[in-house]
């Protein structure tokens, strides 16, 4: 088996659920199936969106930050991730609760964008997601992908 071979079903797709006034949202079933019956939501290391990881994926993510970014900056990043991390167990309707702290940290309320991104899902403020999508031009993407086998 090659090192780069995917050992799991990648998370993919774009969904547009909403968050109610109590902080509950229906998490997309397709992504719930891949993340598992329990998963973690945390502030992304860029602090612009929320990340959702399987339990194993969250452990791996935190270990990588801890092991690869020693010292002050790594400690600050890991502290930020862990401070708002929440273990999620969706209810019978597939809803999860996102704390006010996490909602405020990335500016989400009402409509949100949830995307699958390979080994995790992301929960975005719709305007921030659109700005992120447009931050790199098609020419920059084309240049970056030149020589990459697709």
CA gyration radius for the chain?
Answer: 16
Q: How many structural domains comprise the chain?
A: 1
Q: Quote the DSSP letter at residue 11.
A: B
| 77: exposed, middle or buried (Cβ count in 10 Å: 0-12, 13-18, 19+) | middle
Read off the CATH number of the domain in which 100 is found.
Answer: 3.40.1550.20
Residue found under tokens 């050992």: 7
Q: Each residue's pLDDT tens digit in the chain (150 positions)? A: 344 555 679 999 999 999 999 999 999 999 999 999 999 999 998 889 999 999 999 999 999 999 999 888 889 999 989 999 999 999 999 999 999 999 999 999 999 999 999 999 999 999 999 999 999 999 998 998 888 866
Q: What is the pTM of this model?
A: 0.90
Do the domain assignments include residue 120? yes
Listed as own residue / partner, the contacts of 71-76 with beta carbons closer than 8 Å and 24 or more positions apart are: none
Do the domain assignments include residue 79? yes
Do the domain assignments include residue 95? yes
Do the domain assignments include residue 3? no
Do the domain assignments include residue 51? yes
Do the domain assignments include residue 114? yes
Do the domain assignments include residue 57? yes
Give the structural domain span for 73.
Answer: 14-145
């Amino acid at each position: 088996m090659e090192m780069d071979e995917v050992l799991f079903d990648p998370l993919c797709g774009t969904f547009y659920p909403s968050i109610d006034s109590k902080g509950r949202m229906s998490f997309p079933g397709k992504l719930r199936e891949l993340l598992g019956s329990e998963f973690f939501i945390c502030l992304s290391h860029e602090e612009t969106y929320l990340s959702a990881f399987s339990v194993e994926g969250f452990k791996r993510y935190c270990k990588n930050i801890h092991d690869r970014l020693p010292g002050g900056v790594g400690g600050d990043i890991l502290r930020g991730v862990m401070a708002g991390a929440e273990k999620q167990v969706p209810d019978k309707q597939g809803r999860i609760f996102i704390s006010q702290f996490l909602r405020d940290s990335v500016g989400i309320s009402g409509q949100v964008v949830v995307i699958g991104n390979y080994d995790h899902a992301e929960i975005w403020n719709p305007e921030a997601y659109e700005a992120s999508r447009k931050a790199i031009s098609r020419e920059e993407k084309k240049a970056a992908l030149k020589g990459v086998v697709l």
